Amino acid sequence: MARPVVAIVGRPNVGKSTVFNRMIGDRLAIVEDRPGVTRDRIYGTSEWNGKPFSVIDTGGIELDGEDMMLKSIRMQAELAIAEADVIVFMCDVKSGLTQSDEEVAQILYRSRKPVIVAVNKVDNMNRMDDIYEFYNVGFGDPIGVSGSHGSGMGDLMDAIVENLPDLEDDEYGDDVIRVALIGRPNVGKSSLVNAILGEERVIVSNVAGTTRDAIDTPFERDGQRYVLIDTAGMRKRGKVYENTEKYSVMRAMKAIERADVVLMVINGEEGIIDQDKHVAGYAHEAGKAAIIVVNKWDVVEKDDKTMQHFENNIRDHFLFMQYAPVVFLSALTKQRIHKLLPVVQQVAEQHSLRIPTHLLNDVISDAIAINPPPTDKGKRLRINYVTQVAVKPPTIIVFVNEPEMMHFSYERYLENKIRAAFDFVGTPIRIFTRRKSSDD
């Protein structure tokens, strides 16, 4: 199910990113500290009073050059209007109401979306009287907050939740594999969709997805039902948007959220660039099954070693996604296109795989016997037992005597042993260490 989207908009230096970090809280601590996973983000998730939602920090989308400042502010506001269900209009109590604020307000008036005015840097009660000036922007009661201190954030979150829409669950059943195609512009996502569907497609319907502007295409192949979630056919907004890497990432995130399997499409002719890793990092952190698809393989000059060299290069760049299979194909010529859906079905099954507790503990016991847990100052980490608590992605809890003694490298060792025993091809595995209690 897609989450409602909240966008934070405002001129530079009003503290958008600080408030963004407050809103998403410590959830990023869950993300694995693996090499290659980008930390440069503008998109996160939050929850308040049991209601989850996504948050966009549009402050991360800026154009170069001082003369581009106003254009940058305008673009951020337009992005918020296009993508968000609720808009947080961030102002700065120290600067007061500025002409730039009024420019943003004029754009937001036309959105017909709920707009909440948050006046930042209200770091003490003496500043509260200064927020009343912001009634002049015409969006109702301004809320005084301090991103640095956290005061007022509860009131802001209450206001956001009150305005969130109820998004309906999509109508597809659990037996349908939802496949999202992501990647930077011009890697051939639309051509790949057409190649997958082919002439023998059995299309149930073309329906607009719960994510605005994404096109869902349900179809069936060999008795398995699929839905392609394609973000490639979105409204063209001009080169300023196409050249904004973070805008592409933002659009991809909305498709990733709804997917079971993510196809990370790379242009085989151009090779790998940082934006590919950026987008793939979001899919990994979202816990989705993933396949790296190298498209346009027909135009690559190659010999009998080219494919292996390219895959090795992928493995070097995508260190955090070693589990993802790589498929080389050409959407244009249909070369190797028949190999893709069987891999999609395989990784979807692995993404939903649940291992019985006794088998999991047998594997861990063997792993401990081969390589005992580390010691620290004469004290040894003791692993009591393990159990799988969730699927999509497979999530495993390791109960131990001292969680702080579980070193990253030993956790990786255990994951490798689990993968050697049960495969888990194409899916990340989440491993959490917990202290064993008397109840356990």
Query: Are residues 289 and 196 part of one domain?
Result: yes
Containing domain of residue 212, as a range? Answer: 177-351
- Report yes or no: 46 and 55 within 8 Å, Cβ to Cβ: yes
Per-residue pLDDT for the chain (440 aa), expressed as one digit of tens each? Answer: 567 889 898 888 888 888 988 998 754 433 333 443 334 457 778 899 989 888 888 765 554 445 566 666 677 677 667 778 999 999 999 999 998 888 888 888 888 899 999 999 998 888 888 999 999 999 999 999 998 889 999 999 999 999 998 876 556 778 899 999 988 777 888 788 888 988 444 333 334 333 334 567 888 999 999 999 865 433 344 444 444 555 556 667 778 888 999 999 999 988 887 777 877 888 898 899 999 999 999 989 888 899 999 999 999 999 999 999 999 999 989 999 999 999 999 999 999 999 999 999 999 999 999 999 988 888 999 999 999 999 999 999 999 999 999 999 999 999 999 999 999 999 999 999 999 876 55
Q: Are residues 140 and 205 in the same domain?
A: no
Sign of CA dihedral 282, 388, 323, 261: negative
Q: What local confidence, expressed as pLDDT, does residue 160 receive?
A: 97
User: What token pair was written down for 165?
Assistant: 């829409």
pTM of the model: 0.73
Q: Are residues 335 and 221 in the same domain?
A: yes
Q: Are 226 and 179 in contact (CB under 8 A)?
A: yes
Relative to beta strand 86-92, strand 51-57 is unpaired
CA distances from 108 to 123, 155, 258, 321, 328 (A): 27, 22, 28, 40, 45
Asked whether residue 171 is domain-assigned, the answer is no
- Would you say 428 is a known binding-site residue? no
> Binding site annotation covers 298?
yes
**Residue 191 among known ligand-binding residues:** no
Q: In this structure, is residue 169 part of a structural domain?
A: no
287 is in an annotated binding site: no
Determine whether the annotation assigns residue 233 to a binding site: yes
Domain end among 112, 139, 163: 163
Task: Among 133, 163, 193, identify where a domain stops.
Answer: 163
64 in a known ligand binding site: no
> Are 268 and 378 members of one domain?
no
CATH, residue 267: 3.40.50.300
* 136 and 270 assigned to the same domain: no
Task: Give the residue from 163, 185, 209 where a domain finishes.
Answer: 163
Q: Is 58 annotated as a binding residue?
A: yes
22 in a known ligand binding site = no
CATH number at residue 418: 3.30.300.20
The answer to whether the annotation marks 186 as part of a ligand binding site is: yes
Number of domains in the chain: 3
Provide the strand spans (E) within 342-422.
375-376, 379-380, 383-390, 395-400
- The answer to whether residues 269 and 196 belong to one domain is yes
Determine how many CB atoms are found less than 10 A away from the CB of residue 260.
Answer: 22
Q: Are residues 183 and 305 in the same domain?
A: yes
**What values do phi and psi take at 197, rounded to 5?**
-70, -40
Q: Are residues 292 and 145 in the same domain?
A: no
Determine if residue 375 is labeled as part of a ligand binding site. Answer: no
Query: Is there a single domain that holds both residue 282 and residue 340?
Result: yes
Are 381 and 335 members of one domain?
A: no
Say if residue 297 carries a ligand binding annotation: yes
Length of the chain: 440
Q: Which residues pair with 433 in a beta bridge?
A: 398
Q: Return d(Cα 437, Cα 440) in angstroms, integer.
A: 5
Residues 188 and 253 in one domain: yes
Answer yes or no: do 322 and 415 share one domain.
Answer: no
Evaluate whether residue 30 is within a structural domain.
Answer: yes
Q: Is residue 102 assigned to a domain?
A: yes
Q: Is residue 23 assigned to a domain?
A: yes
The verdict on residue 172 lying in a domain is no
Closest CA to 374 of 352, 404, 349: 404
Does any domain span residue 120? yes
Give the CA distances from residue 374 to residues 111, 173, 384, 400, in Å, rounded to whole numbers and listed in that order: 57, 45, 14, 12
The full 3-state SS of 260-289, as one line of letters, equals CEEEEEEECCCCCCHHHHHHHHHHHHCCCE
Within a domain: 170: no
Q: Respond yes or no on whether the N-terminal peptide bond of residue 35 is cis (omega within 30° of 0).
A: no
- Whether 277 has a binding-site annotation, put simply, is no
Residue 169 makes CB contacts below 8 A (sequence gap 6+) with 1
